[in-house]
Each structure stands twice: as structure tokens, then as C-alpha cells.
Amino acid sequence: MIFNSLIKPKDELTILTEDVTLAEALKVLEDSGYRCVPVLDPSKKMFRGNIYKMHIYRHKSRGGDMSLPVTSLLKNSTKFISINADFYNVFFTIRDLPYITVLDSHNNFYGILTHNSLLKLLAEAWNVNNGRYVLNVHLSDERGELAQTTKEITRFCQIANVISLDPDDQDGKQVLFTLPANVDRDRVTKIVKRLQKKGFTVTEVEDLHHSNV
């Protein structure tokens, strides 16, 4: 389920209704500075799609009728998620959009979830504020390797966060271990040596507050 704190609710948004013209929509977009905004039905409950500034400009440059309703250039009418959607679906739905529309449990327009909100969530997951060093460790797909790596690291300190990446061009996976802010470089060196002794490859040690070490 999506955290409500990540969603920008309807009453904080610039929105249009489907009965406005392209000329009116363009003025709203230019005044607001947004490249696109949601379009709703006159009751402001049902999501109809998004209107993009670039599409109106293109229409206008080709001598198009600007008195046409905004619905003539709507996009993304089927691009929306439920407020109860899981994060897996959210990431795959939003990837090509500036934001994704969120519907409530009654399929009414609730608000939007922006790329910036997701990036902020990922930054928090990375634990930048509470962490210092990040160990990038290459693991194979053998059973128990993640548990063993975690055990070796926690011999020296707690782990603030773990993120697992699975690049297409590599065998196995890259696991990023964020260590707490109170861990100094000497302890990091000891952790790296311990992991290498146990046969694990530490591909990078990143200092979140400075350059790589």
C-alpha cells in the first residue's frame, strides 16, 4: 500500500475539467509552469487523463482549433493506480510518466504520486542521514550468502540499511550495505578485510558524505 505522505492530494493540485478548451488549458499550464496536469470530469471525481503543454503547442503550431475541448488531446487515460497498489506495480507504472494518478477505493481521483516523491523515498531507504559508508558487495545466487555476509558485518557494527540490485549484465547481484554514521574508516577497513577473507568481493566502498574511498 502507498504511504499517504507520498501522495499529493487533489486539493493541492492544479487540475482541469473536461469541459475547458485547449486555449484555456494552455493558459493554465503556462501560468502554473507545469508541463502537464490531470483532467477530471465536471464533478472532479473521475479521472479522464492528462493534458500536456507540448501536445497543445504542437496542435497550435499546426493551425489546430484551440476552441476544441481539452479531451481532444488527452493522454494517459488508462495510466493510474489504486491507493492500495503495492510498490512493485507503482514503480513499473510510473517509469515513463512525470507522475501517476492515484484513485481511492471507490475509483475516484484522489491525487498524484510524483517521481520526486519516489526518489525521496529511495533516499530515505538508503539512509543517507543516518548512515555514512556503503559497502557494495557482489554476491552469487548461492543460498545463504546474504545471511553469511550480514553475519560477518554485524561482528563489527549494526547495519543501517540493505538494498539488493540485480543488474542484467552481471552474474549474481550487488548488495549495498549502509553502515551507521558512527562507524569510522578504520572499522570499515576491518569489515572489508573480513569479507574478503571469507571469499566475498567488495566492489566499492562509498562515503556518503565525501568522495569514494
Residues 52 and 144 in one domain: no
pLDDT of residue 213: 47
pLDDT of residue 6: 83
State which H helix or E strand residue 113 sits in. Answer: strand 109-114
Residues 149 and 184 in one domain: yes
If you average pLDDT over residues 7-30, what whole number do you get? 96
Residue ending a domain, choose from 120, 139, 160 = 120
Residues 26 and 98 in one domain: yes
Q: What is the pLDDT of residues 159-192, one digit of tens each?
A: 988 888 776 556 778 898 999 989 999 999 999 9
Q: What total of structural domains would you count in the chain?
A: 2
If you average pLDDT over residues 104-126, what whole number do you get? 83
Residues 87 and 110 in one domain: yes
Residue at 166 is within a domain: yes
Q: What is the pLDDT of residues 50-89, one digit of tens each?
A: 999 999 999 999 999 999 999 999 999 999 999 888 776 7
Residue at 180 is within a domain: yes
CA dihedral 59, 64, 68, 71 (to 10 degrees): -30
Residue at 141 is within a domain: yes
pLDDT of residue 168: 55
pLDDT of residue 212: 46
Residues 9 and 90 in one domain: yes
Residue at 213 is within a domain: no
Residues 156 and 110 in one domain: no
On the CB side of 210, CA atoms within 13 Å amount to 6
Residue ending a domain, choose from 74, 102, 120 = 120
pLDDT of residue 125: 64
pLDDT of residue 49: 97
Phi-psi region of 49 (alpha: psi -120 to 50; beta: other; left: phi over 0): left
Residues 63 and 132 in one domain: no
pLDDT of residue 90: 79
pTM for this structure? Answer: 0.67
Residue at 212 is within a domain: no
If you average pLDDT over residues 95-114, what whole number do you get? 92
Residues 64 and 152 in one domain: no
CATH code of residue 51? 3.10.580.10
If you average pLDDT over residues 129-149, what whole number do you get? 87
d(CA 51, CA 26): 9
Q: Which residue range is the domain that position 173 belongs to?
A: 127-207
Angle CA 1–6–134, to nearest 5 = 90
Residues 89 and 144 in one domain: no
